[in-house]
Structures are given as C-alpha cells and as structure tokens.
Amino acid sequence: MQDKPQNFPTTQANGSPLKPLTEAILERRATNQFTSEEVPEEYLNAILRFGAQAPSGYNFQPWRFVVVRDEANRKRLQGVAFNQSKVGEAPVVIIAVGMKEEWKRTADEVFREGAARGAGKKENVESAKQGAVGFVSSMDAAMWVNRHTMIALTTMMLVAEAYGFDTAPMEGFDAASVKREFGIPDEGEVVALLAVGRMQPPDKPYTGRLPLGRIAFGERFGEAWKE
Amino acid sequence: MQDKPQNFPTTQANGSPLKPLTEAILERRATNQFTSEEVPEEYLNAILRFGAQAPSGYNFQPWRFVVVRDEANRKRLQGVAFNQSKVGEAPVVIIAVGMKEEWKRTADEVFREGAARGAGKKENVESAKQGAVGFVSSMDAAMWVNRHTMIALTTMMLVAEAYGFDTAPMEGFDAASVKREFGIPDEGEVVALLAVGRMQPPDKPYTGRLPLGRIAFGERFGEAWKE
C-alpha cells in the first residue's frame, strides 16, 4: 500500500492559489471544446493520486483509470464515444472502470495492511475479511462498482477544477467497444469518461438547478426542505 | 430553476479558513463516532446547495436527499441500517436517493430553462429533449441514478469536510425498509447514507491505498501508470 501523497502542487499551474472548493464547484461547467494545451505531468499525477484517496467500502478501491493522452488513442476513443469531438480534442481523457471481481483477490492484502496500520486487531483479520467479502458480495456488483468509481471520479473532477483545469464528465460511449479497444477485462464496468484540459471559450452557460425544496426533504421524502 | 448559491459561509464555523480541497481529501476519514454537536443551519444549507450544483446528464438532476435530524427518526434509520450506532449518534444523516422516472417528468422544464439561459436554441428544445430522453432511457435506470447521485453525494461530503465537519458515507442499510420508513416512492433507489457532524476522537487510522501503478494505467488497461 501507498501512503498519502506528500509532494503535490499547492497552486494552479500559473501560480494562482488553488481555487476554494466552493468556487471550483460554482465555476465548473462541462467543457465542450478544449485547446490542445497539455496538462503538466505533476498536475495529472496529483489529480490521479487525490482521486485514489477516495473512500470505499472496507477500502476495497474497486476503481481503475486508463489515462489516454496519445492522439491516435484519443481518436480511437472518440470513435467508440459517439464521435464526440471533445474526446479527440482534450489532451487527457480518463476512462473510469469499476472492477467487479478484482477486489476479492486484494481483500486479504487490504485487511492485513489495515490491521498493520491500526484498523482492527491482527487476530481478527480473517473473520473481518470474510464478513466484508460476504457483505459486499450480497450487493449487485455492477451497481457497487459504479457507485464507488463515481466517488473517485468526482474527486478527480473537483481536484482538476481546483487546480484551474477544465473538465468534461461523459456518459456517452459504447462500453463493449471501449473495453475491446483499451484492453479492459470482462469483469470491468466502464463507468464514465473524464476529459481534462483547458477550455476553448466560450464556456457553457449555467442552466440553473431545481429549487432546493424539490430535491431536498426534511425528515421524510416529499416534505420540502426549508432553507 | 434556481441560480447559483450566493450567500454561503466562506469560513469554517469556528472562523478558520475553508480547508483547501487537497487538505479536505487527505484529512477525511470515515467517522465512526460522532458527538451530539449540531451542524449549524447555514452550513447544512450550504452543503445541500453545493451538492445540488453537481453535474448531471442533460442537467436532469435525478438525486433527492432526505435530511434526517430528529432523534427519533435517526434511531428509526439506525434500525434499518444494520443498527450502526453512528446513524443514531450523528446530528445529521442524509439519505441519498436516485429517482428512476421523475427526470422524465421534469425534462421539459429543464430543457426550456436551459434554452432560456443560452444552452441551445428555443426552436430545437423539443427535438433535443426527445433525443436526450431517448438516450438516457437506453441506459439501465438504476445504474444511471446511482452514478449521478454519487456525484452529488461526493460533492456534499467534500464540502462538509472543507467546512471542517466530519462525515461517514455508508452503504449498509436495508433499502426496502429505508424506503418504507421514510416515504420514498417505489421508483427511488436508496444509494447511500451520509452522516455529517463532529467526530468523537479517536479518528480512524489511514489504512493506505493501492499503489498508483496498480489502479492507473497509461493508454491501455494493464500498462502501469508511471509517476
């Protein structure tokens, strides 16, 4: 296992301070056109490392990320993503994959490391692991990895925005073709794509949100939340 | 539709600056024990409002959140969440729900508002809407709402952390019982719970993460990413 990232950029690439999360959320729009400007290596590493810090059930981390930067590969990805031009344009497109089986093979390692780092007692590792594997196995595997992968992907999207980059999360692709083109195993669920780069203006307009009272409820579904 | 939140806390409740996103991510642990200290109303509103700013396919926003604060209701939720004590302890527990059908009924409103705000032409609203509804309907509805709801829930979790609160995302509950107890309609998928409050120390240890080369790949699945 790896420790927390320690060396990561603490400013945007142009030296501006990191955007506060509130600002990153409010300024983020799904970018439709990207310039060809590359995402510097240290920023891309940081985006991936922070995404990898996302929480997961029992720390099973079922997410995997294929980082596509090579132009021919981006065009190939575009071809299996309804030919969306931003896929070929953005300097980086991350294919987010959830693995339905692999976590079972790493469960032992995850639990032993957890105990070594102070989570639970060493003598209980085996029974705790069995309980965890049983519980997670009781859930729909595709659903479970989709939920988890979205935690990590959302984290990456917000970190990229805080670093001043623009992003586009995408759900338009032919999953079977993406798997075939990028060597993704059978057990992998292609969950989403995330393009990262610099926007080619104009930015998308903000199209509003449903009033909070229609999506948030107090105590019981249907009881409109009052701000 | 509502505009972006404009009045929201710009510091933590104790006056400290908002945590940078990088720090919020690194400090976040799933909290196991909460104190009874309440989450001030203005912070809870901000957490919900920022969560509601999450992106969704065509801005359909299929997420709904039941905010449970009443003690008897929290105990009732605990009872259908494998009796996890943190559910009863935390001052706020948010039930995140994905709605599989409701977005179809609001699609017209969403597209008209989008066009009014500059996204697309008014004369194309009807055909664009029909295309969008057709595309989203082609995906597995439960999967689709699970993915989306996790974007908003992850956003809330990170905003709460940036404001200095502690959180616990949870997947251990009996969905049918949660739906029955909190009046959630048939079409609702209970996606996750999120407890928000203040940690009762000690915090959970950090249990490490899989090395980046095992979860991130360059260009093709299986080709370890090199930092």
Instruction: Please answer yes or no on whether B64 and A217 come within 8 Å at the CB atom.
Output: yes
CB-CB: which of B28, B63, B191 is closest to A215?
B63
CB A68 within 8 A of CB A95: yes
Alpha helices in A96-186 (DSSP H): 102-116, 125-137, 141-162, 175-182
Instruction: Please answer yes or no on whether A69 and B143 come within 8 Å at the CB atom.
Output: no
**Bond before B169 cis per omega within 30 degrees:** no
Tell whether the model's pLDDT for residue A96 goes beyond 90.
yes
Question: Scanning every residue of chain A, which has its alpha carbon at the shortest distance from the alpha carbon of B172?
Answer: A135
Output B107-114 pairs: Cβ under 8 A, ≥24 positions apart: B107/B58, B107/B60, B107/B132, B107/B133, B109/B1, B110/A207, B110/B1, B110/B58, B110/B59, B110/B60, B110/B61, B111/B58, B113/A207, B113/A208, B113/B1, B114/A205, B114/A207, B114/A208, B114/B59
- Binning pLDDT at 50, 70 and 90, where does residue B227 land? confident
- The per-residue pLDDT for range B156-196, each reduced to its tens digit, is 999 999 999 999 999 999 999 999 999 999 999 999 999 99
Q: Name the CATH superfamily for B32-200.
A: NADH Oxidase (3.40.109.10)
CB-CB: which of A61, A117, A209 is closest to B206?
A117
CATH class for the region spanning A21-200:
alpha beta
Interface test with A, best of B209, B212, B227 (most A CBs within 10 A): B209
Mean pLDDT score of chain A: 97
Question: Scanning every residue of chain B, which has its alpha carbon at the shortest distance from the alpha carbon of A116?
Answer: B207
Place of tokens 């049918």: B176
Distance from CA of B195 to the nearest CA of A (A): 14
Question: What pLDDT shows up at residue A62?
Answer: 98
Among candidate residues B194, B163, B157, the one with its CA nearest the CA of residue B10: B163
Among candidate residues B201, B199, B196, B200, the one with its CA nearest the CA of residue B43: B196
Q: What is the SS3 assignment for A128?
A: helix
Residues of A in contact with B215 (CB under 8 A): 52, 61, 63-65
Alpha helices in chain B (DSSP H): 21-27, 41-51, 71-79, 85-89, 102-116, 125-137, 141-162, 175-182, 212-215
Q: Tokens at residue A20, please?
A: 């506060």
Question: What pLDDT shows up at residue A208?
Answer: 97
Question: What pLDDT shows up at residue A227?
Answer: 87
- Considering the entire predicted model, what is its pTM? 0.98
Measure the CA–CA gap between A7 and A1, rounded to whole angstroms.
17
CB-CB: which of A22, A147, A208 is closest to B117?
A208
DSSP state of A148: H
Instruction: Please answer yes or no on whether B65 and A216 come within 8 Å at the CB atom.
Output: yes
CB B61 within 8 A of CB B52: yes
Task: Work out the number of other CB atoms within 10 angstroms of the CB of residue B213.
Answer: 14
Instruction: Please answer yes or no on whether B216 and A52 come within 8 Å at the CB atom.
Output: yes
Complex ipTM tops 0.90: yes
- The per-residue pLDDT for range A39-61, each reduced to its tens digit, is 999 999 999 999 999 999 999 99
Instruction: Please answer yes or no on whether B53 and A26 come within 8 Å at the CB atom.
Output: yes
Provide the CB-side half-sphere exposure for A196 (13 A, CA): 31
Measure the CA–CA gap between A68 and A37, rounded to whole angstroms.
15
Among candidate residues A158, A160, A145, A159, the one with its CA nearest the CA of residue A192: A145
CB-CB: which of B46, B52, B119 is closest to A205?
B119
Dihedral sign of CA atoms B49, B55, B61, B67 in order: negative
Instruction: Please answer yes or no on whether B73 and A219 come within 8 Å at the CB atom.
Output: yes
| Burial of B193 from C-beta contacts in 10 A (0-12 / 13-18 / 19+) | buried
Task: Work out the number of other CB atoms within 10 angstroms of the CB of residue B94.
Answer: 27
Instruction: Please answer yes or no on whether A155 and B225 come within 8 Å at the CB atom.
Output: no
Question: What pLDDT shows up at residue A202?
Answer: 93
Residues of B in contact with A143 (CB under 8 A): 142-143, 146
Tell whether the model's pLDDT for residue A74 goes beyond 90.
yes
Q: What angle do CA A23, B108, B129 make, to 5 degrees?
A: 90
- The per-residue pLDDT for range B110-140, each reduced to its tens digit, is 999 999 999 988 899 999 999 999 999 999 9
One-letter-per-residue 3-state SS of B39-65: CCHHHHHHHHHHHCCCCCHHHCCCEEE
Instruction: Please answer yes or no on whether A205 and B118 come within 8 Å at the CB atom.
Output: yes
Q: Tokens at residue B65, please?
A: 């959140």
- The per-residue pLDDT for range A132-178, each reduced to its tens digit, is 999 999 999 999 999 999 999 999 999 999 999 999 999 999 999 99
Question: What pLDDT shows up at residue B135?
Answer: 97
Instruction: Please answer yes or no on whether A118 and B205 come within 8 Å at the CB atom.
Output: yes
- Which percentage of chain B shows pLDDT scores above 90? 98
Q: Tokens at residue A118, please?
A: 């102070």
